[in-house]
Structure 1
Amino acid sequence: MKVALYNLTTTVLTGGIETFNWEVGRELDRRGHEVHIYGGNSTLPAKYPLAVFTYPYRSRDQFPGFGMRFQKMAERWSMARNCSEDLRKRKYDVIIIHKPYDIPWILRVAKQSKSKVVFCSGGTEFFPGYGWLVKRLDFFTACSSFNAGQIEDYCGIRPKVLYNGVDTETFRPLTVNRSLKAELLPSADARVIFSAARLKRFKGFHHVIEAVAKLKTEFPDFFYLIAGEGNYRTELDECVRRFQLADRVKFLGNVPHHLLPQYYSFANVAVFPSLHLETFGISIAEAMSCGVPVIGSDSGGIPEVIGDAGILCAPGNSDQLADGIRVILSDQKIQQTIGQQGRERILNRLTWQHTVDKLESYLQMIHPM
């Protein structure tokens, strides 16, 4: 099968959709499909040796400020006008897209090239006409049952579920990186709470800081490490000062994605306290794959990731976060058991091989192989 994985940012940024296209592309290629990656012009190197086609585009901030939806659509259409002819000429069996702003013109291209169109949703970027457009797709998926329900509530159409996956070779349990730990912490025996995400208010890190304050006398040897950058850093710094935790909380800045397993190697627990209705939670799945016990918010698609292999807390509840951290830090056996259960859950349900198995079964419905 000849497949185009189309998304402007796949070659421009790193993130969930971008990871999906590279990993799914690699796995489809391994299985004998012809795979082409489409994206915007960039200096980023290709993640894998796949056929990659890039095109010029205008960034959204160069368009009039008529609202973010308008700017996102204009940005994507600025690339579309440069690659439409190539998509038509190459006559793909299937074109896979991820953003609803790409649907109108991709449907037009697909009609001319007799390609099938698959839209893999990862969120709720709804706009007038969304329901009308998705009815014209050949196949429609959502990244979780929760996300499928959001879409059904909006337009009456329920997509099939296609979970994201984890690279379980990169994200795997490692021997403790003692030299890295020594760089960051004053003691080799220090216990570590770890979080990795953008520093945005909706990620809820201020509630973990509050939970740390509740536990600091009970556990004098633990630290909270936060990997990530974002515009909420100033507020988080103020939160650390207010609770007098400058000696307990460390901001690591941006940690390259492939290096995160080195940090997870000495983490006792990973905490993801999102206040937002996350549709999946790929960072949580990666921590679980590394054998680290996780605590996450009992909302959105996060429970589908964690299942019974971690601890769920009410969003914004620092008391429950503190209780969950206490359970794990107080008992090494519980820590090991939850960590092992998390790794097994990912291996059994959420690898990229599982994702592509399911994707191939869906593609078979619209284009028998």
Structure 2
Amino acid sequence: MKIAFLSLYTGYVSRGVETWVNDISQRLADLGNEVFVYSGADDGLITNYHKQVLHIKANIRLRKGESLIEQSLTWPYWEILNFIFTFRCIYFLILNRPDIVMPSNGGSQTLIVRIAGFLFGWKTVVVAHAGLGAHEKWNLLTRSDLYIYPSRRAMGWANNLFFSKGLKLINIPHGIDLHKFKKEKSDLKLKLQKPVYLIVASFDPYKRVYLAVKAVSKLKKGSLLVVGGDRENGEIDILATKLLGEGRYFKTKVKLNEISRYYNFSDVFTLPSNIFEAFGIVYLEAMACGLPVVATDDELRREVVGEAGILVDPENIDEYSKALEKAATKNWGEVPRKQAEKFSWDIIAKKYEAVFQGILKK
């Protein structure tokens, strides 16, 4: 099969979507498929799939808004870029004539790819990266050929929408590269007080990183390490500096192929996202490296984390803080790693391939 992915932000940021595009592309190529990834910039990774970089000039500093108001003000800029990027991709898609096209950036991209697919004969497959809400409702309104939901919760939500009737919706979880993410000695030399509580996330409002700052500040010892934060607004830095101070807080950005060093440097992984989290690949990465997880107690996190951590109401700062301390002192053994193994790409990629073959036969 010929399979194409559109990923505007690949090369600019390394969030869950960009990680997913790279991982699944490599695994589908390993299975003998011809895979194309169209991106806005070059991520510098050596891959076994075809890469077409469209060199979209994006002012990444405009991703600095942490509030919904700030993000709403910059939304038109990013949607215009998405529109331009997608139209440029269509030219290459027509040349290569893939069987399957997977738009990953939503908005106008999903609609354009769907219309072009109707005209030129490819199947449009949409994976629900945006979580519950308006973005995924829009994707459903494009009436694409297949919708894949990474969690049972999200698929149930979509099934209950009246305009999803007649659409093909299935559940396939995201995967994890167990060879890349594994427990090993870290060579990092960060001067942080132990135990180290790690967050890997953007500073999107629904991630609620500020709750982790407050929870760690309640502990007598321990520090917060934040990897990511692609939005440059300094509100989190200001809060962390005030509550934690020097030696108990550090924020950095790293390349995708370096991130496992930070998991292995840390003692506990935490991410207090709200219900709009679509899946959370970072939970899998952390567990694959042997870390217990402290996260929000909801249907999604119960599905992903299982018994490999502690689930709480993170808005209750005292409860959240006690859970972090308990997770750091408990001997978790191989429980986190075993939970991550359920989501191995060796299993997940074959499910994707089988589903693609199925819709092409119809």
> What TM-score range do you get, normalising by the shorter chain?
0.7 to 0.9
- Paired residue for 1:169, among 179, 184, 200? 179
Match of 1:354 in 2: 347
Q: Which amino acid in structure 2 is aligned with residue 133 of structure 1?
A: T
For 1:110 and 1:214, the matched residues in 2 are separated by 54
Please give the per-residue CA displacement for 1:191-238, whole angstroms capped at 9, x wherever unaligned.
32222223455433333333334331xxx5x33333333445434433
Q: Which amino acid in structure 2 is aligned with residue 165 of structure 1?
A: G
The answer to whether 1:335 aligns with 2:336 is: no
Q: How many residues align?
A: 346
Shift of 1:286: 0.8
Partner SS state of residue 101, structure 2:
strand
Match of 1:26 in 2: 26
Partner SS state of residue 331, structure 2:
helix
Cα separation, partners in 2 of 1:31 and 1:74, compared to 1, 3 Å: same
For 1:32 and 1:101, the matched residues in 2 are separated by 31
Counterparts of residues 1-369 of structure 1 (less than 5 Å): 1-40=1-40, 42-55=41-54, 57=56, 59=58, 70-98=76-104, 99-123=106-130, 124-126=133-135, 130-134=139-143, 137-157=144-164, 159-177=169-187, 180-181=188-189, 183-185=190-192, 190-216=194-220, 220=221, 222-229=222-229, 230-231=231-232, 233-241=234-242, 243=243, 245-247=244-246, 249-275=248-274, 277-299=276-298, 301-330=300-329, 334-337=330-333, 340-347=334-341, 349-368=342-361
Cα separation, partners in 2 of 1:115 and 1:275, compared to 1, 3 Å: closer
For 2:263 and 2:5, the matched residues in 1 are separated by 31
Partner SS state of residue 353, structure 2:
helix
CA contact 1:196–1:227 (8 Å) conserved in 2? yes
Partner SS state of residue 357, structure 1:
helix
Please give the per-residue CA displacement for 1:272-318, whole angstroms capped at 9, x wherever unaligned.
12245211111121111100111111136333211222110113121
Cα separation, partners in 2 of 1:364 and 1:193, compared to 1, 3 Å: same
For 1:127 and 1:145, the matched residues in 2 are separated by 15
For 2:138 and 2:257, the matched residues in 1 are separated by 39
Shift of 1:164: 1.4
For 2:318 and 2:34, the matched residues in 1 are separated by 51
Q: Which amino acid in structure 2 is aligned with residue 191 of structure 1?
A: P
Unaligned runs of 5+ in 2: 63-70
Q: 119-128 or 319-328, which moves further after superposition? A: 119-128
For 1:355 and 1:43, the matched residues in 2 are separated by 26
Partner SS state of residue 290, structure 2:
coil
For 1:106 and 1:199, the matched residues in 2 are separated by 29
CA contact 2:312–2:320 (8 Å) conserved in 1? yes
CA contact 1:201–1:232 (8 Å) conserved in 2? no
Please give the per-residue CA displacement for 1:10-47, whole angstroms capped at 9, x wherever unaligned.
3543222222222111111111111111223x343244
Cα separation, partners in 2 of 1:126 and 1:210, compared to 1, 3 Å: closer
Q: Which amino acid in structure 1 is aligned with residue 174 of structure 2?
A: N
For 2:19 and 2:353, the matched residues in 1 are separated by 18
Q: Which amino acid in structure 1 is aligned with residue 34 of structure 2?
A: E
For 1:50 and 1:7, the matched residues in 2 are separated by 14
For 2:72 and 2:197, the matched residues in 1 are separated by 42
Q: Which amino acid in structure 2 is aligned with residue 357 of structure 1?
A: K
CA contact 1:12–1:39 (8 Å) conserved in 2? no
For 1:225 and 1:301, the matched residues in 2 are separated by 24
Cα separation, partners in 2 of 1:8 and 1:239, compared to 1, 3 Å: closer
Shift of 1:350: 1.4
Cα separation, partners in 2 of 1:133 and 1:155, compared to 1, 3 Å: farther
Please give the per-residue CA displacement for 1:99-156, whole angstroms capped at 9, x wherever unaligned.
242222222322232211111121144388654412xx22111222222234334454
Higher relative contact order (CA 8 A, sep 6+): 2
For 1:138 and 1:110, the matched residues in 2 are separated by 10
Partner SS state of residue 9, structure 2:
helix
CA contact 1:277–1:300 (8 Å) conserved in 2? no
CA contact 1:313–1:320 (8 Å) conserved in 2? yes
Please report the TM-score for the alignment, with normalisation by the length of structure 1.
Answer: 0.82
Q: 84-93 or 228-237, which moves further after superposition? A: 228-237
For 2:149 and 2:338, the matched residues in 1 are separated by 24
Q: Which amino acid in structure 2 is aligned with residue 20 of structure 1?
A: W
Point out the structure with max Rg over C-alpha: 1
Q: Which amino acid in structure 2 is aligned with residue 210 of structure 1?
A: K
Partner SS state of residue 173, structure 1:
coil
Cα separation, partners in 2 of 1:321 and 1:155, compared to 1, 3 Å: same
